[in-house]
Structure 1
């Protein structure tokens, strides 16, 4: 059996509980990462392929290089917005790691991170890091897949040729079902419609204002936090790390006592099937989260994206996802008026061509896939997921029963004790290292004194 190693913070087949996921941040900061990673796994997991995962924050070791070269046929690197200043150090480490590999290494989706107010410049601080990364990947693969035209234009400016070194493939999550997308039924939207919303702390104020004024128009809404800190807040009632978020807009659900949490108006997810199931019961998903809204489309539910930056813009434009750039919002725009104008038939337009492009990208890089199977045939990924008893949606701490609250608090206490023990171990190791350095320094001094005598 062939083995493929994919960059991910966890495998969906690990079926971890909430404590394990939240304590160790096994969603990679954002639950949206699960959508495109699982979609890639579903596509590449053929009958004769085993898929394992590795974490590029902790697993870039010499031992891992040896293991990969001995056991694996491919390494697959899915990214979101990898080309950004804050990811530069990790990208450099990944580049050094990939150089040591003797097996093909394929990048399936990567993108830039740039806002409308701070677009990419002709020269950026991370350009050199990106150039070296791209050259290294091209030594191990045929071509790199980018998330959209902005990213491909950036790589072209760096000297790489579109169509030869890189090409737009969009978001792999949109090809979950291959050449067809679920049919989106656009129902009449009323104040009583079951609606799911997604939001983000660090957004331009016009988006915050839009969300504040539109969420309250619905009687039957639920909020889906996606960031690890926010899920911890909702699930355990624990506050954000002190000083981490400099500015939090008015009415944002940033405290455990927020009305949405007290009224049981929030759900979070640590696996994809539970998320899809929840969204399939809604009549609309809207907000600023691209993968939270893509998940809705894959569940057959209409979604509408309020676009905040180029990273999201290039995806919604490529896939024809209904959206509006926040700069284009007018004073009288509401989610009702935007939804009325949304054309969900455009999602299907060009999807087959985009899918064929994605499929040929995989084949060009030597990756076998399940897309040639009958559409109704269960994939190996599906069969394996069906064997699991998956964690259902996570609910707010203060809307849980007293017994459930006590269980979560005990769970949290165990986790914190484990972290304290690890901290103590690290401090002990640090002390030993200091003593070792002091011992060596003392020996050098003694040696000098002996020589002088």
Structure 2
């Protein structure tokens, strides 16, 4: 099958130099990332570095087929070009659109509606989910309603992040809707199972090499967690995903200021953010634009911990134990679907003795049941792909 893959990309998008028609030209290198301007540009291109896992998982699921990735921005920029879309409709049998939190009040999918109105082939929307349940039906923007209307009247397949999104889409009249979870979950199934086995270990509450993730620049939660779990002489390693463009983590200096070391992944420049003065531990800020480098670095940690879904999934893909703190509807939907152990943020935040609470929580994890649930979800994902013909 000839598949046009678009939407959220893998990190390999960083090698795209240009696109002509539907021919994508790749450069044999990545852009330089030392200066502030270049660092921020790379983050803005993906919006959140955790998104690279979604694109990578979607692409991996299509192995064995003739797959061409065409950037969505190119399809959108050429939406008035009949020639480009005639070529696409002639050369491809199926379009797979890697998606994430598309269903949310603050985002109007006008461009998606226009693009998919011109693509006449069947469409698979993979990984679609919600941002927030409250008021979704009443507040969904007109562009997103148009996007759903276009696909309602076409041969379309929706693979959702969880049950709530699936029920919502069914209510919207979509015919083929299957909850399958985020495609990033099935990128490395053996390592995911190994991670779940390793998580059921109360001794991890004393781990000192932890990959933290959260919303540094907005709230002090991760700083509090690091102080609660790490000894005074340990270094807190925090992985940045989108904080520099979404949560007021600033990099002072002009555009040419060196701020990043690509070899180590460390942010080397000065940083400014809310609550920074509360740190009582030595700490480092890390950022990755290559998922292989991210996974490799994660293997040097004892565990991943925090409020970022993909910041923990990347560790699980490397076989490292990971525990998530659920902070919003999108995380809860994905975690409840896949059955991974997690702690509610409200519960965790009010615990005075976090290390003891964590040890007790880890001691009660049934890793065998978690693995059984995960493997059932993976089998379901592969089965749904088979139903579609991929």
Which residue is equivalent to 1:365?
388
Quick check: 1:275 aligned with 2:294? yes
Which residue is equivalent to 2:172?
159
Tell me by how many angstroms 1:126 deviates: 1.3
SS of match in other structure, 1:301? coil
Contact 1:284 1:302 (8 Å CA) reproduced: yes
1:95-134 matched pairs, under 5 angstroms: 95-114=113-132, 119-121=133-135, 123-126=137-140, 128-134=142-148
SS of match in other structure, 1:87? coil
Which residue is equivalent to 1:72?
92
CA change 1:280–1:100 in 2 (3 A) is same
CA change 1:220–1:171 in 2 (3 A) is same
Contact 1:11 1:52 (8 Å CA) reproduced: no
**C-alpha distance in 1 between matches for 2:218 and 2:243:** 17
Which residue is equivalent to 2:238?
223
Which residue is equivalent to 2:254?
none
Which residue is equivalent to 2:321?
302
Q: 1:80-120: CA deviations, max 9, x gaps?
A: 111112221xx122112101112222100111111xxxx42
Contact 1:179 1:351 (8 Å CA) reproduced: no
Aligned to 1:196, which of 201, 206, 211?
Answer: 211
**Which ranges in structure 2 are unaligned for 5 or more consecutive residues?**
16-28, 252-258, 261-267
Tell me by how many angstroms 1:276 deviates: 0.9
**C-alpha distance in 2 between matches for 1:23 and 1:151:** 32
Which residue is equivalent to 1:211?
225
CA change 1:276–1:179 in 2 (3 A) is closer
CA change 1:143–1:203 in 2 (3 A) is farther
**C-alpha distance in 2 between matches for 1:27 and 1:214:** 35
Tell me by how many angstroms 1:274 deviates: 0.9
**C-alpha distance in 1 between matches for 2:280 and 2:76:** 41
CA change 1:7–1:347 in 2 (3 A) is same
Quick check: 1:8 aligned with 2:28? no
Tell me by how many angstroms 1:22 deviates: 4.2
**C-alpha distance in 2 between matches for 1:3 and 1:21:** 32
**C-alpha distance in 1 between matches for 2:92 and 2:40:** 29
Tell me by how many angstroms 1:42 deviates: 1.4
**Which ranges in structure 1 are unaligned for 5 or more consecutive residues?**
241-247, 368-453
Aligned to 2:51, which of 33, 36, 48?
Answer: 33
Which residue is equivalent to 1:354?
377
SS of match in other structure, 2:286? coil
Contact 1:197 1:221 (8 Å CA) reproduced: yes
TM-score normalized by structure 2?
0.76
Contact 1:36 1:172 (8 Å CA) reproduced: yes
Which residue is equivalent to 1:424?
none
SS of match in other structure, 1:356? helix
SS of match in other structure, 1:75? strand
Report the structure number with the largest CA radius of gyration: 1
Contact 1:208 1:249 (8 Å CA) reproduced: no
1:28-427 matched pairs, under 5 angstroms: 28-46=46-64, 48-56=65-73, 59-61=76-78, 62-63=80-81, 64-88=84-108, 91-114=109-132, 119-121=133-135, 123-126=137-140, 128-156=142-170, 158-160=171-173, 164-178=175-189, 181-184=192-195, 185-186=198-199, 188-189=203-204, 191=206, 193-201=208-216, 207=221, 210-211=224-225, 213-214=227-228, 216-217=230-231, 219-227=234-242, 229=244, 233=251, 235=260, 237=269, 249-251=274-276, 265-329=284-348, 330-335=350-355, 337-342=357-362, 343=365, 344-367=367-390
**C-alpha distance in 2 between matches for 1:266 and 1:149:** 35
Contact 2:123 2:156 (8 Å CA) reproduced: no
Contact 2:303 2:322 (8 Å CA) reproduced: yes
Q: Which has the higher strand share?
A: 2
**C-alpha distance in 2 between matches for 1:133 and 1:341:** 43
User: How many residues in Structure 1 have an aligned counterpart in Structure 2?
Assistant: 343
Contact 1:192 1:220 (8 Å CA) reproduced: no
**C-alpha distance in 1 between matches for 2:43 and 2:205:** 37
CA change 1:202–1:317 in 2 (3 A) is farther
Tell me by how many angstroms 1:29 deviates: 1.1
Tell me by how many angstroms 1:9 deviates: 4.9
Tell me by how many angstroms 1:179 deviates: 7.7
Contact 1:215 1:221 (8 Å CA) reproduced: no
